[in-house]
Chains A and B, each alone.
Chain A
Amino acid sequence: MKFFFYLLFCLFPPLVFGGQGADQSEEVAIDFLYINANAGEAAGGHTALRLGDAVFHYQFFPDATFLLVREPWDSFRFLYNDLHNRSIAIASLPLDLSVATHIRNHFTELLVSQQHFFDVFEKLQKENHVIQNLLVGDSDISVSCLGFFSTIIDMVDQQKNLRYHIETELGPEFLQRELARANKELQLAVHGVNRGERPGQSFHEILDLREALRIFVQGQDLDEQALLPPMEKEEKLSADEKVSLEKFANHLTHSIVELLQSTRPDRGETLLLQTARYLAVQHSLVAGQLLSLDPFSEDVRVVQLTDAEIEGGQLRTLQNDLLSQSVTRRSLFFQEEQHPEIAYSLMETSRARAWELSRVTDTQRRVRLLTRVMLPSRPGIVSLKLIQEDRCELQATAEVLVQELEELQKKSEELYGYNLFFRNCATELIRSLNTTFPDKESGQAVLGGWLEMDNGLVFIPFVFYEQSIAAFSLKDQQFLPARRLRNLESLYEQDSDILVWLRESNTLSSSLYEPRSKDTPFLFFTDDALLLRPIQGVLNVGYAALHGIGGIITLPFDGGKRFTQAARGVFYSLPELAFGNIRKGSYSTVDSGREPSL
């Protein structure tokens, strides 16, 4: 039966994958991955390179950028292979450890360069925002992390303790002296802006530092909305946990003292965050409950849950999963000795996710989503009344900035734009691999082959994979069937083939699949039925068309949503008429019991 799946996995007859298991030898290899197609995402298939425990691949982002992404292999496999229900073919290229490391380092450098480019872009946008606001008479400037602090000026005990530590280490006049210096620097920066100078990055940095020093001197507490309160199922702090938390508070105090002496230009924002975290820890110790800063930023993604999600079991299972993750990370944070800040951030993020989902009720369905670890950054506003700008100079500055932004946007399109033929997941992977080496000859000597991104149809992911196998003499091919195919294989082993096929070949009686709107309406799974595919394709087209008729009737009520889904259903069935397959169905959160890492 396994062979049957391997045969059917191939969208195209020339592709044949072997069924060998993973190469368990100690030889270092880089792995070429081909992930077959599915509806909605990467309908043309996808490619990636596995370098050690990380997968590097190019993804299309909603802002039309096409970027290199690094993900842990386990997360990548879970997402594509389990949730998106797509099979993954892997072919290995054994290499010397030094070469494999060199390739991974090169990809990391590309990642870092990419991040630097967009950081510069973002800072220029921020600078432009300030100038544009000044042009309309708005001198309010946003300061990251300042929003965690109360506007009520009242020296609280926790701040007194912190100030005592600072003054013990740096002298009683240190904070006042530094605040006076920061104010002077800010004044100079403001005068510069008034004279038409560009604020640049340093303007924000001076302001951040001034605000951090002001908070120390005035001794403000956290704003009452700054902390996420304890969750119902969260346990109180144990005696050991309190000791660990006090140790972390000492770490933060040390960090604050060091930052105050540091020459880092951007230390102001970090000082504000470390101080807010220090206060969060102190409040936790007083309350005997773990409290943490609210890390949700203003532009965080928001989703709205439906009745089905709230009333069904999905939400409850997710709430439990996230709470469990939060408990695990809390425990790991209290044990961590080497990297306390990383462990704290992981705990802080998972706690925020669990808290956010725990608030869902019939009336509160809006959920903010943290997809990765985020440092808390709630901004506060500082109004710089001193700015009395020369409008002509300011206008000239604005024009320069707009021009720079346009140039950067153009460069972004050149460097990080998407093109189906010339800049897609396959071509960019080849380009990135090739640029690891100074020239073709040296690369060929090390890799044992060479592939060019303009080599015929190599931009098509499965052709890329096939050509890679040929060009680099890739060996040890491995095949990870999609989740449904894996489960189907188990059913075939337990029951009569014909009964299983009859039941599982369609979406109406399948025990392995629940129809989802994302998958579009379809009747037959065609990824495991090569010979019947065109016939099933016709039936799928008909089934989607019937939904379309229903969609016309419901058009006034659902704004054409059902009709659009039906049209997409027809669209994704078209390749089936020519023995092709894109749609395979996908899985949602709850029914995707995670399997051990492969």
Chain B
Amino acid sequence: MNSKKYYMYLGFVCSLYLLQTGCSISYSLEKSSDSVSASLDSFTSISTSSSGEEEAKVSATATLYEEDVAAVTVLYVSSDKNNDAYRRQVTGIAQNHGISDWEQERSTFVGMGKGLRRAGVAEASIPSLPYFRSIADAPNYSQVLRGYRM
């Protein structure tokens, strides 16, 4: 009985909710026609970080980037291993994190190594993958192995 009342109550309040917004709306992509106070609000989350957070921002960004590169490498291994498509995807991820030339960023190759391990690639088989074959003699390859062994 209690359960029935509970669901009736829920049903009533939910019917009110259904008429209103369901889930969270992206704050950063609000329409520009939003209220003016929202316009200044838009600056808030980007202007009020503490100095401690600022100091950690570079390394935090690098860590997230490394995670993303690892993730895209897992997907690369499980897909048709298109060399160019993989590199374009890495470019897209790097751009999202403020990195223009990902070939000069060590986290890229560490992340790749982590992704290869996660995807279950044996260390000896890494150079058999098209992209990694192309960098097997390059200095960055040691970073791939470092990430793999982490």
Contacts and interface: CB of A to CB of B under 8 A. Distances in A.
Bind each other: yes
Interface of A: 11-12, 14, 35, 37, 40-44, 46, 53-54, 57-62, 66-67, 69-70, 72, 74-75, 78-79, 83, 104-105, 108-109, 111-113, 115-116, 119, 201, 251, 254-255, 258-259, 262-266, 270, 273-274, 277, 301-306, 308-309, 314-315, 318, 321-322, 325, 328-329, 332, 336, 338-339, 341-346, 349-350, 353, 357, 367, 369-373, 375, 418, 420, 424-425, 457, 460-461, 463, 516-518, 571-572, 574-575, 578, 580, 582, 588-590, 592, 594, 596-597
A258 B138 CA distance: 12
Nearest to A370: B46
Contact of A342 (B16, B29, B98): B98
Contact of B39 (A304, A516, A580): A304
Contacts of A336: 58
10 contacts: A59-B24, A60-B24, A62-B26, A329-B54, A338-B58, A342-B98, A369-B43, A424-B22, A457-B10, A589-B43
Interface in B23-68: 23-32, 35-51, 53-55, 57-62, 64-65, 67-68
B13 to A, nearest CB: 5
A371 B17 CA distance: 30
B37 A588 contact: yes
B103 A258 contact: yes
A520 B134 CA distance: 60
Nearest to B47: A321
A115 B93 contact: yes
Contacts of B96: 115
B42 A516 contact: no
Contacts of A594: 48-50
A580 B48 contact: no
Contacts of A572: 20
B61 A418 contact: no
Contacts of A314: 40
Nearest to B20: A43
A161 to B, nearest CB: 19
Interface stretch (B83-91, B121-129, B141-149): B83-91
Mostly helix, strand, loop or mixed at chain B's interface?
helix
B23 A46 contact: yes
A301 B75 CA distance: 33
A363 to B, nearest CB: 17
B22 A375 contact: no
Contact of B37 (A105, A259, A517): A517
A265 B84 contact: yes
B21 A41 contact: yes
Closest 8 A-B residue pairs measured CB to CB? Answer: A345-B98, A303-B39, A371-B28, A43-B20, A425-B23, A42-B24, A321-B47, A373-B98
A59 B104 CA distance: 33
A489 to B, nearest CB: 22
Nearest to B92: A119
A588 B41 contact: yes
Given A60-B24, A304-B39, A589 B47 contact: yes
B74 interface: yes
Contacts of B6: 14
Interface centre among A35, A112, A301 (most CB of B within 10 A): A112
B20 A353 contact: no
A373 B97 contact: yes
Contacts of A418: 22-23
Contacts of A578: 12-13, 16
B101 interface: yes
Contact of B20 (A254, A370, A571): A571
A572 B47 CA distance: 30
B1 interface: no
A328 B40 contact: no
A111 B11 CA distance: 34
Given A62-B29, A575-B13, A582-B20, A305 B54 contact: no
Contacts of A274: 100-101
B142 to A, nearest CB: 16
A123 to B, nearest CB: 9
B56 to A, nearest CB: 9
B120 to A, nearest CB: 13
A535 to B, nearest CB: 18
B26 A588 contact: no
Interface centre among A58, A72, A308, A572 (most CB of B within 10 A): A72
Interface centre among B19, B28, B51 (most CB of A within 10 A): B28
B66 to A, nearest CB: 10
Contact of B62 (A58, A265, A338): A338
A343 B75 CA distance: 28
Contact of A79 (B12, B27, B97, B103): B27
Contacts of A263: 134
A42 B87 contact: no
Contacts of B99: 341-342, 345
A115 B94 CA distance: 12
Nearest to A568: B20
Contacts of B84: 265
